[in-house]
Structures are given as structure tokens and as C-alpha cells.
Chain A
Amino acid sequence: MSELAISALNEAVSAGPVTVRELGLQGMITLRADLSDKKLASALKALTGLGMPAQRGIEREGDFAVAWMSPDELLILCPHAQAPKLEADLASKLKTIHHLVVNVSDARAIFAIEGQGAREALAKVTPADLHPEALREGELRRSRLAQVAAAFWIEGEDSIRLICFRSVAQYVFDLLAMSAKEGGEVGYF
């Protein structure tokens, strides 16, 4: 019944100078393994076309992305419907090395924060350094968003992507919508 599947907020939008949008269903796979293992790199290349991200890095191309989450953990983004197959394919290619691959698509929610001031809206709720010199395109930052965990990266000019746990999606949406509200422009970055 995957045709009945819906994301946590069913693509809710808060429009304004900075728009906050839940992006709907997103495939996500957690992969834990020895990241220096060549079999891992070649499996990734074969299945996503992407290379191994550097520490705190995120590699993106088309519908796929591979992000460094910790010294032994990656997050792979793919279309939601493709996640079960990608999970199985990865597991089969990595059979000979110690690893854990698990489909976490439905454990998460993903948001876009877009518009001039997107960085500032986010900087109201995360202690991470969002200065354009500090957080550049190509880096994924895991941090705190007010009272919950989150990870985010710069998708492009004035465009940020953010991932949080599914159960707190409404909280994160409300938090970002409040931070992006007109009148709260900081004029700092």
C-alpha cells in the first residue's frame, strides 16, 4: 500500500520571505561500516554514482546524495520508492564486510528553507555556525534545533535542506516558521 504512504506533514508549507516546506517522502538509508573499506566505496559508486564524502561532507547528484554522519556512518538519500531496493542491493554488495544497512526513510522528515535570510532563520534555533564562510555548500552539519536533533546542508544560494526525526516534524516546522516570520530579519550574515 505504498501508494497510500504519506510523509509526516504531507508537504506542509509556510510561505513568507523565507519559505519553509516539508518536502514529502524522501528515501533515506543509514549505512554503518568501516568507511575506509574500498568495497564500500565501490558499492556506493555502483549504486548511487557518488563518491565517498569527506568528513562532514555531502556528495550530491540528481536524486541521490551521500552524507558523512559520523566516522562509521553514512546517510544515503534516494527517491522514497527506490529505498527498499537500494537497501537490499547495498546489503548484497556489502555481504562480505561487517556493516549495517537499514531503510530509515520513514523515521525522518525533510524540509526546505528557502529565501533571502534562510541562514538567519535557522541561526535562531541552532548553535551551529551558519556564517557563509563557516557552512558552505558540500557540508552536512549535524546539530541541535532548539530542543531536538537535526542535520542540514546548503542546497544552493538561499536554500537549505534539513532533516529531523519524523515524530518531531510538526515541532520543527513550527519552529522554523516562527524563526522565518516577517519582522524578525536580523541582517547579520
Chain B
Amino acid sequence: MSTRLARGGRLIDRRKQMSFTFNGKRLKGFAGDTLASALLAENQMLLGRSFKYHRPRGLVASGAEEPNALMNLGEGAKFEPNQRATTTELFDGLAAQSQNHWPSLEYDIGIVNNYAARFLSAGFYYKTFMWPRPFWKHVFEPIIRHSAGLGRAPKARDADRYEHFYAHVDLLVIGGGIAGLQAALAAGKSGKRVLVIEQTAHWGGRAPVDGVEIAGKPADDWISESLAALEAMPNVRLRTRTMGAGVYDHGYVLAYERIGDHQPERDAPRHRLWRIRAARAITATGAIERPLSFVGNDIPGVMLAASLRDYVVNYGVSAGDRTVVVTNNDDAYRTAIALVEAGLSVPCIIDARPQANGILPQLARNLGISVKTGSAIAAVKGGKRVTGVTLCAQAGEGAVTEEIACEAVAMSGGWSPVVHLWSHCGGKLLWDEDHACFRPDPARAPLSHDGAAFVMAAGAANGAFAPSAVLADGLRAAQDAFGTKAEGTAPSANDMAEEPMLPVWIMPQGAPVEKRMKMWLDYQNDVKVADVQLAAREGYESVEHTKRYTTLGMATDQGKLSNINGLATLADALNAEIPQVGTTTFRPPYTPISMGSIGGEARGEIFQPLRRTPIHDWHAEQGAHWEPVGYWRRPYCFPRTGESHRDAVNREILATRGSLGVLDASTLGKIIVKGPDAAQFMDMLYTNMMSSLKPGKCRYGLMCSENGFLMDDGVVARIDDETFLVHTTTGGADHIHAHMEDWLQCEWWDWKVYTANVTEAWAQVAVVGPNARKVLEKLGCSTDISAEALPFMSWIEAKIGGFDARIFRISFSGELSFEIAIPASQGRAFWDALQEAGAEFGITPYGTEALHVMRAEKGFIMIGDETDGTVIPQDLGLGWAISKKKTDYLGKRAQQRSHMASPDRWQLVGLETLDGSVLQDGAYAVADGSNGNGQSNTQGRVTSTYYSPTLDKGIAMGLVLHGPDRMGEVLEFTQLDGGRCKAKIVNPVFFDPEGEKQNV
């Protein structure tokens, strides 16, 4: 059984006991434990089930590379699935649950998949598509869906908060092992801004566990001294629990800081996503040990050799009394030595190499450990935990030579540098024959905007494994980063010469297929040696295709343990060299990061900016039903108690047409265009003539893109000879302003015109209806606003009720109408005064829907309804607003193209159903015959359709083939239920075609 040792554990504090639960069972650990070490100390070997076959799974590793020990953590609003036990720091009260089993971890029904393994071979999912066909939909898919996914999805809203933080540094050092610290020491002396981040809570990486001595002292001493030196540098910042997650173009790096995970009671952001701009980045990210492929290498108790050593040295936890070590290199001997020194038993070291005579093997032999060279594990015995191993020769097919009882197996297939962050932004790799691993190719580093390398790998991440080489490489990386020779030299370390490792991708070498079906490559996704070989036989030569076909490396650990073994297996099956097969793409993040951290502060009220007019709060107080318009919220209507939205809209329209309505039109775009060339510029922007507009007058105009399509409309007011005020649609304000600046800055840079977007400087209120003038006169106008003094389509600056105002006599409703612009700071006060003065006229605030209906009754087009980016003014009967005199305007030439000038373009008409009903929005007018897809031919479509309370019938506008020439003709329009609705083509101006009402 696994247990806590009486002594040892450099990271734990035995005086501080903590209690936690696993599947409801109360367990104990110490401060400094990870959830993994605490579980192992409590003899909890079985931690979960695998994805596909529901095989028992226990710890394999001790860090970020762990594929198996994924937990559901927390409860309710603090629940989160797929949390890695090895990187979860223990805290008092932690509640963990294992995943992917039913009904319980110990007795799992899904294990039946294990016996159906031959039906779940590589690519089984894709094969289910092929045969037998009905099975996919009715049999395979439901089963696969049911068993898919590891953790549960959270149900409650996340109770935590998250944030971002932007940092700009000259050098970012990713990884706080001895390579990273040495690099930071050298770089820090330059005085430049240096940030060092370490994913764990501890500095120094593996060196203290591996017995490294630096400059004659234990590594821990050198690490503390280095940290003290770095902390004393005002230009250096150090962060633990901060993982380098991704490296992107131009030195952009994301780092993931875990603030609240280990202290959930603290009122603090749970995670902070660092968005770093680094001129240079050093990836001192260490290396990951590889498993070996032998039968039963997934049984709980089979662990990576160095990880097993971590549990003993860092946490004082043993995985079992008797541990068999199996290796192809010298490093694993350190585990055997550490175990014996901790008083545990190592029955033997199984070394696949023909001989092992290095310093470490000799040290092991001196401790009395039996070393069996040229040997292999034939099979691991056990179900939910290891009970023993059988041995065989590495060279043969696996004839068992001996059986050894043990509780744990420590395996080492060599080390792979963590090249992820180097690779994210295009860093290329070399195949290192000596260590059978990929390492960064410094000649093909990720390049920054200046063409220079901006990522430098250092230490084990760069393939430097011996401690003195690691330190020297850290120094070298700092020098490369700044392009200068840094001060000082790297200290020496107690390197122990290691003999070459032997690449071993399968154990034993000649294992037959039934054995290869029990050798796991990817523990989380259940991919075995046989699966990759099958993929190769089925023609998958590309490693990227094989990955997707077999799901190798596609689990949440992204193949940190399985990738190299998998592609070596593929290379062998293809009879190719490993570097020719290559690696799959390394993509950010390095390990999964929380969705919360990506969203940062953007949730709840501040998920998105909400733009508010000066009158917004009044609308909210009246219970307005809102309509989002861009980032604005505009009242759609103001329903009274018990009133439906439709009834509210109808009431608002009738009240406005009958007496007095008011609309908050503050969101309308308002852009000042000024300069000696402003009139010329306006003539180019609009299809109609604006230069002839007199100061004090208003004119409606259309704006087209250079491709001729109608993109905005609105009323222009001329302020003075040099100055125009452009009104745009609500959604158009920003992009029309940008459109103007684009032309002024890029094309007509010599024209003397300045623009300014003053949309938000003004509250704008439309005062509409037969009593509009009366209410303004009641408030008190400093000037005459009679029809003679202020005729339709003119404007004036005045005081109304003491408020500073611009009064525009324009109408989008067909009624007598004044649009009053008031400085935004006085907007609410004006609105309140207006409400009071209007009470005697039954003043009725109306929303966007009433606005829409009233403009449709008048046949006015709406950008976004009648236009959709394919419509030109000529389609809308707006030929009158297109100047024939002007030599040019934006869109003019495009509108002369044959298709744009075609008489067969659909044209705007009014539509009236024969029965008075309302046509469906977007409905098509059907034509004779059908197209190649068997669909009805069409000859038009509805662009706007409403019930008109004024006329008490449905009214609509639409674009119809030769429409204006077909007045009175009846067309059939589609309905969602498949039926047809008959409508007659009519004039689009349904109400007051002479314009008598607005012109009073």
C-alpha cells in the first residue's frame, strides 16, 4: 500500500494537518501537500477511470503532465471538473470527486467496454459512420454520447471573479527552475524589466529532488540565495503559481496566475490572466519524463520514476514498500537510490540496455540493489493496483523468465524537453539522437517584428540535462536575449556523468499483437501501441491524421506523456525515421486554463458596454421594453400595466398622430464636418447635392459605399458656410465617422476638412404630432417657431424653456415634428420639463417600434430593413435623391455597371394584403416554375411589414421585379406554414401622400 513515511517531505509542514474529502470519504494531509500526494499518502491508488474502456487509473506523474488524476473539485457555484490532482494544492476542506465512472469508482459498469475493446479500435468512431449505416444514428452515437466527457459540466453560475493584468517587460523568464533563475540573475543585472514566472508554488524545479549541488552547496541554498538576490533587484519581479500558457506573435505571452485556488475563502480573484508584452522570452520550462510501453503499464501503481521520487522527497510519501524500477537510462537509478535511502525496498532495477556501468548504476549496486540489464517487463500483474511484475528479455517476444512481487513500478523511457512554448509561435525542433528527444533548434527560433529571435529556450527545455550545463545554458539564454554578454559566469554543479540511454519504444522489442493491445500510450484517451500500428496499416502516414484517427494526444493533457512514444511507434510502423514523421502541432494553452480567466472581468453587468442616453434612467423607471441597437438600449415601447407590447405600440402611434408623442432620439449619429472644402466633401459623401444647401436649412441625403450600395441615410443641417452637421443612423455613427476619416486621410488628404463625432454631446428629442408646436410654445421659445418663421426642413438655435437648444424641423413620422437637440448634461431636465408641459396634450413617449411603423406608413425606408448591403438607392425609388448634375460621388461609377443599372433589379413598392392581414417578414413573392433545386422561383421579397393602427390593416414594403410598373397586380407571398398570402402592389406611401400633416 502507499503511505506517508515517518520522515522526509521537503515541501510539507507536518505540524499543519488539513482535512479533505475524496468521494465523500474524509482524509487527512499536510500543508504543502498536493491533492495527489495527500491521496497517495492515504493509500488512495485508484483515482479515476479511463475515457474509453473505463480502466482503473492512478497517479502516473507528479506535475502538469499528469494524464489520469483528474477530479471534479468543489461544489455548487465553486464546482469545476477536470482539475489535475498533481497541480492542486491541498487546502482544509477541499472536496474532490473522481470522474468517469458509474455507479461508483470501485464498481464501474463501463468497464465492460474493456472487454469490447476489439470493437473500439483505432478510428472506431469514424468507422461507425460507414457501416452499417443506420447503426450510427440509432446505436453508436447515443452510446458514444452517453460515455463521452470526463468531468461533469458545472450547473451553477461561477461564484468567483477573474481578471486580466497587462504587463510590459524587456524579458519574461518562463520557468523558475535553476535554468530560469540563472537566466534571471544574469538578465536582472542589466537593469531592464524582467519578470520571472513559475507554474508551481515553489522555486528551483527538480534540482533539490535530484540531489544537485551548486557551487558546492545543496541546490536549495543556491535557490534561496538567488531568490534573495533577485528580490533585491528593483527591476525584477517574481511570481509563483503563474504558468506560461501561450506564446504569440510580437512577444505577446499569456500567463495564468492561480490566486484563489489554494485559498478559496479569500475574497480575491480566483485566476488572473497576465497579458504580457515581452521584448524577449526565455522558456526554461524543464523536461517531462516518458513512460515505457509494456503490458499493463496503465495499472495503478505504475508511475514515472522521477515522479515517484518526487513523492518520496517532496512529500514523504511512498507509493509502496517494494518498487521495481524499469528504465532505459541512468536517471531512473536516482529513484532507486532515493527509495532505498528512505528505507524502502527496490527488488530490482530492470534496465533494457545490454549493460549499465555508469556512476549511478554503480551507486545503486553499492546499495545492494539488483540490476538486471537487457531485461524488460513482460507484464504488470494486478487490477486496481500493482501486485507484481513478470520479467523477460528485452530482445525477445516476452517469454517470462521470472516473477517479482511489488506494489509499485517506477518507469523511465527518457526525457522530453518541454518545447511547447518554444513551438507555439513557430519555433522549430531538432531531433536529438543522444537523448532520443526533440529539442529547440536555435537557428529556427520564433521571430519578432524585427526579424530577430524573441524566444530563447534554456536548460532542460533546451536539451541541456546535466546541472552545470543547465546553469550555463540559463546564462547563455540571458545573453542571447539581450544580445550582450551578461556579467558573471554560471556556477558549477556536481554533474554525475550518465551513460547513453537506449531508445526503447516497446517492451519487449518483439512483443506480439495481443501484448501490444495492452500497452498504453495515451492513458487518458485509451490509445495503445496496437491502435497506432493499426492506423499506420490503414494508411495514416501523417502524424496529424494519425492523431485525430486514434485520438492520441487529444485528451486534456494534450499528449504530454504520449506524443513522443506515439510518433516513435508510428515511425516504426511506417519504417521511417522519427524526425521524418515529425511532431503534431503544439498549441496554446500549455495546460488547460479556466474559461473564467479568459473572460476576465467581462461578465454580469460589465460583460459588454451598455450605452445609455441622458434619458435612459427615465425609460428604465417607466418600465420600457428594451431593444438593443448596437451597444445602446432603446425603448421598443412603454407598456402600461397589463398592456401587451403590440397594444402599447398601437397606443403610442395613435396618441402621436392624434395629439403629441415624444421620442428619445439621442442615439442618432451627429458628426460635424467643417472646412473650406467641406461642401465639396459633402457632395462626394452624399448621392445628392449638399453644397447648395443654405445655412439654416436641412436636407435628407443618402450615402453609398464606393461599391454603390446604400449604407446610411439621414438629415444634413448646414450650420454656416464652412460647417455641416451630419445626422447618421444610430448604428452608423461610428463607422460613418470612420468612413469620412478614411477618405480624408487616405484619399483626399489635401482637402481642408475636419470632422468631429459629437453624437454624445447632445440629447435629442423628437416632439411629434399636431400639438408639437403648442407644447414647445408653452415651454417658451426665445424665437418664433411658426410655419412661416421656421418652415419644414429648416433649423434654428434658440432657447426653449430656458434650455439651450437647436430646433430642427424634420419629420420621420409624417407629422408636424421638431427634433430638439439639448446639451447632454441638460437632456434629462429638458425631458422632464417637456413631460410636465405636455401633460395637458396627453404627451406619450413612444419607442422604436412606433417609430418604425410610422415611417413605414409614410413609405420612408429604413437602413437595415429596406437595405441589406446589396441594395442601391435606385432600387428604392430614391432616384430623386441622386444628383444628375454632379460629376462624381462615392458609388456613382459602381452604379453605372451593367448589373447595377439593369431594369430587372427588384424595385421598392408598397404591398397590401387582400384580406388586410400582415404579411410575414422576409416572405418571398413566388413566381412561376421552380429552380434547379426544386424550389419555387421568386420575384420579390418583403422588407418591412407591420400592422398599421392608423389605417387598421397590414402594410408592407418590398422589393419586386419591375414592381413600380405593376401597380395593382396581385402577388402570392410565402408563409412559414407553407401557405400563401395574396397581396396587391401599391404605392409605398400609405399615409398622407401629399405631406399635408408634416407641413403645417
Across-interface contacts of A103 in B (CB, < 8 A): 761
* B240 CB, min distance to chain A CBs, angstroms: 12
Give bound CA distance, A104 to B275, whole Å: 33
The answer to whether A178 has its CB under 8 Å from any CB of chain B is yes
* B249 CB, min distance to chain A CBs, angstroms: 15
Interface of B is mostly: mixed
The answer to whether A107 has its CB under 8 Å from any CB of chain B is yes
Contact yes or no, A102 B758, CB < 8 A: yes
Q: How large is the interface on B (under 10, 10 to 19, 20 to 34, 35 or more residues)?
A: 35 or more
* B597 CB, min distance to chain A CBs, angstroms: 12
Across-interface contacts of B994 in A (CB, < 8 A): none
The answer to whether B20 has its CB under 8 Å from any CB of chain A is no
Across-interface contacts of B164 in A (CB, < 8 A): 124-125
B824 touches which of A125, A127, A166 (Cβ 8 Å): A166
Contact yes or no, A165 B760, CB < 8 A: yes
* A178 CB, min distance to chain B CBs, angstroms: 5
Contact yes or no, B825 A7, CB < 8 A: yes
Interface stretch, picked from A43-51, A58-66, A180-188, is: A180-188
Give bound CA distance, A99 to B601, whole Å: 41
Interface centre among A1, A5, A147, A168 (most CB of B within 10 A): A1
Encode A10-22 as 1/0 by CB contact (under 8 A) with B: 0000000000000
Across-interface contacts of A131 in B (CB, < 8 A): 168, 193
* A108 CB, min distance to chain B CBs, angstroms: 8
Encode A152-189 as 1/0 by CB contact (under 8 A) with B: 00000000000001111111001100110111101010
Q: Which residue of B lies closest to A72 (CB)?
A: B754
Contact yes or no, B268 A183, CB < 8 A: yes
Interface centre among A7, A106, A182 (most CB of B within 10 A): A106
Encode A126-138 as 1/0 by CB contact (under 8 A) with B: 1111110110000
* A170 CB, min distance to chain B CBs, angstroms: 6
Contact yes or no, A105 B825, CB < 8 A: yes
Contact yes or no, A167 B760, CB < 8 A: yes
A98 touches which of B166, B266, B672, B675 (Cβ 8 Å): B675
Interfacial residues of chain B within 129-185, with CB under 8 A of chain A in the complex: 161, 163-168
* B761 CB, min distance to chain A CBs, angstroms: 4
Contact yes or no, B760 A106, CB < 8 A: yes
Contact yes or no, A167 B269, CB < 8 A: no
Across-interface contacts of B613 in A (CB, < 8 A): 167
The answer to whether A41 has its CB under 8 Å from any CB of chain B is no
Give bound CA distance, A56 to B759, whole Å: 25
* B471 CB, min distance to chain A CBs, angstroms: 28
B608 touches which of A33, A124, A147, A169 (Cβ 8 Å): A147
Give bound CA distance, A130 to B193, whole Å: 13
Across-interface contacts of A6 in B (CB, < 8 A): 825, 828-829
Contact yes or no, B825 A123, CB < 8 A: no
Interfacial residues of chain B within 597-629, with CB under 8 A of chain A in the complex: 600-602, 605-606, 608-614
B168 touches which of A1, A106, A129 (Cβ 8 Å): A129
Give bound CA distance, A156 to B593, whole Å: 37
* A144 CB, min distance to chain B CBs, angstroms: 10
Contact yes or no, A5 B825, CB < 8 A: yes
* A5 CB, min distance to chain B CBs, angstroms: 4
* A150 CB, min distance to chain B CBs, angstroms: 11
Contact yes or no, B756 A100, CB < 8 A: yes
B267 touches which of A80, A133, A174, A183 (Cβ 8 Å): A183
Contact yes or no, A100 B758, CB < 8 A: no
Contact yes or no, B824 A106, CB < 8 A: yes
A146 and B268 contact, Cβ closer than 8 Å, known pairs A105-B825, A165-B760, A166-B760: no
A104 touches which of B611, B754, B758, B802 (Cβ 8 Å): B758
* A49 CB, min distance to chain B CBs, angstroms: 24
Q: How large is the interface on A (under 10, 10 to 19, 20 to 34, 35 or more residues)?
A: 35 or more
Contact yes or no, B602 A105, CB < 8 A: no
Encode B256-282 as 1/0 by CB contact (under 8 A) with A: 000000000011110010010100000
Contact yes or no, A124 B193, CB < 8 A: no
Interfacial residues of chain B within 930-947, with CB under 8 A of chain A in the complex: none
A1 and B829 contact, Cβ closer than 8 Å, known pairs A123-B166, A184-B163: yes
Across-interface contacts of A181 in B (CB, < 8 A): 161
Give bound CA distance, A166 to B760, whole Å: 6
The answer to whether A36 has its CB under 8 Å from any CB of chain B is no
Give bound CA distance, A25 to B824, whole Å: 11
* B523 CB, min distance to chain A CBs, angstroms: 37
A170 touches which of B193, B277, B612, B825 (Cβ 8 Å): B612
Contact yes or no, A175 B601, CB < 8 A: yes
Give bound CA distance, A107 to B761, whole Å: 4
The answer to whether A42 has its CB under 8 Å from any CB of chain B is no
Contact yes or no, B803 A107, CB < 8 A: no
Give bound CA distance, A160 to B758, whole Å: 25
A25 and B268 contact, Cβ closer than 8 Å, known pairs A106-B761, A123-B165, A125-B164: no
The answer to whether B590 has its CB under 8 Å from any CB of chain A is no
Give bound CA distance, A188 to B755, whole Å: 41
Interface centre among B272, B632, B825 (most CB of A within 10 A): B825
Contact yes or no, A102 B824, CB < 8 A: no
The answer to whether A39 has its CB under 8 Å from any CB of chain B is no
Contact yes or no, B601 A170, CB < 8 A: no
Give bound CA distance, A105 to B826, whole Å: 12
Across-interface contacts of B272 in A (CB, < 8 A): 186
Give bound CA distance, A134 to B164, whole Å: 19
The answer to whether A88 has its CB under 8 Å from any CB of chain B is no
Give bound CA distance, A119 to B411, whole Å: 50
A175 touches which of B266, B606, B676 (Cβ 8 Å): B606
The answer to whether B10 has its CB under 8 Å from any CB of chain A is no
The answer to whether B823 has its CB under 8 Å from any CB of chain A is yes
* A140 CB, min distance to chain B CBs, angstroms: 18
Encode B177-214 as 1/0 by CB contact (under 8 A) with A: 00000000000000001000000000000000000000
Contact yes or no, B166 A128, CB < 8 A: yes
Q: Which residue of A lies closest to B273 (CB)?
A: A124
Encode B791-829 as 1/0 by CB contact (under 8 A) with A: 000000000011110000000000000000001111011
Contact yes or no, A167 B166, CB < 8 A: no
A107 and B601 contact, Cβ closer than 8 Å, known pairs A98-B675, A171-B610: no
Q: Which residue of A lies closest to B605 (CB)?
A: A174
Contact yes or no, A171 B606, CB < 8 A: yes
The answer to whether B237 has its CB under 8 Å from any CB of chain A is yes
Across-interface contacts of B267 in A (CB, < 8 A): 182-183
Give bound CA distance, A170 to B600, whole Å: 18
Across-interface contacts of A178 in B (CB, < 8 A): 161, 163, 601, 606
A-B contact pairs, 14 of them (CB 8 A): A98-B754, A102-B758, A103-B761, A124-B600, A127-B275, A129-B168, A146-B602, A147-B602, A166-B614, A167-B760, A171-B609, A179-B163, A182-B267, A188-B165
Given contacts A8-B824, A134-B168, A188-B237, 4 further A-B contacts (CB under 8 A): A98-B675, A123-B167, A124-B164, A129-B166
Q: List 4 A-B pairs, minimum CB-CB distance, nearest first.
A: A100-B754, A5-B825, A4-B829, A183-B268
Chain B residues proximal to chain A, CB less than 8 Å = 161, 163-168, 193, 237, 266-269, 272, 275, 277, 600-602, 605-606, 608-614, 631-632, 672, 674-676, 752, 754-756, 758-762, 801-804, 823-826, 828-830, 833
